[in-house]
Copies of this chain bind each other. A is one copy, B any other.
């Protein structure tokens, strides 16, 4: 079996270190620097000839820098004769632009897939892709993991009484249903409708939430607008004041933190798929780490064992 090397981009070094620790390995040494003119430079300090290489790079608020850095790392490692290059991208940037809704839009999620392939990667490992169809955007197979297991374990321990899982919109119903089933609770959905023309949109809560403890469950929190509106709707519908919020990807774009601070959720549970800067950490925030999950998958991939067992 070829030897394995793990490299970290600059987007999320803590996660990379945690993954390496889980694997009882050290991160391989690589130079990543920026010239005064803004250009990125990267060079491995270790030979990778014939190695099975994993690059840990997630998408943050400087997603374009993250992606260009990733492409340059791939190019450098490919030209240094790495045998296979696996990209571990816990949060896949541009995932939401995955279709043309108004004519002449880009399909940026497909573009990013094409650019990753053009740079020379052989495989992508990611978590909770915004839509499952994104797997078909790649010409090579993709490991689309789910952090559901982490949330199930966490909330199973919590044993919240009288609990209802709530999907904040129609798009997330399927995944919310799977989650609700796994923790053995009821499901409700919030959706928006416009009864007739020229009437403003109405938010409706569907399912039994009155007097119950709600757990809003989504794939990501971006500006937190929809989850905060959902919280209002649940309260209006008679839900308990203690509302939980769980989501895989803490994108936390402005004004997410102001809104969340104001909303006073009982708890905000997210993963570390994206690093959260200190000034965005709230007291009621709980972060579940995906490091163990990713380390397991990396090991299974490297040893060509079924990844299905891990999930």
Contact = CB atoms under 8 A, between A and B. Distances in A.
B76 A304 contact: no
A37 interface: yes
Interface stretch (A15-23, A38-46, A288-296): A38-46
A108 B133 CA distance: 11
Number of copies: 6
Contacts of A78: 141
Nearest to A205: B206
A49 interface: yes
A161 interface: no
B97 A39 contact: yes
A38 B60 contact: yes
Nearest to A68: B64
Nearest to A94: B39
Among A61, A105, A110, A132, chain B packs the most CB atoms within 10 A around the CB of A105
Nearest to A256: B36
Nearest to A30: B104
A200 interface: no
Given A104-B80, A133-B133, A181 B207 contact: no
B106 A76 contact: yes
Interface of A: 2, 35-45, 47-51, 60-65, 67-69, 71-73, 75-81, 83, 93-94, 96-111, 114-115, 117-119, 131-137, 141, 144, 170-171, 173-174, 177, 180-181, 184-187, 189, 191, 193-197, 204, 206-207, 222-223, 251, 253-254, 300-301, 304-308, 311
Given A37-B63, A115-B119, A133-B136, 20 more contacts: A36-B223, A36-B254, A37-B61, A39-B63, A39-B93, A39-B97, A41-B105, A43-B105, A47-B104, A49-B301, A49-B304, A49-B306, A67-B68, A71-B115, A75-B107, A103-B308, A114-B118, A170-B170, A184-B197, A187-B195
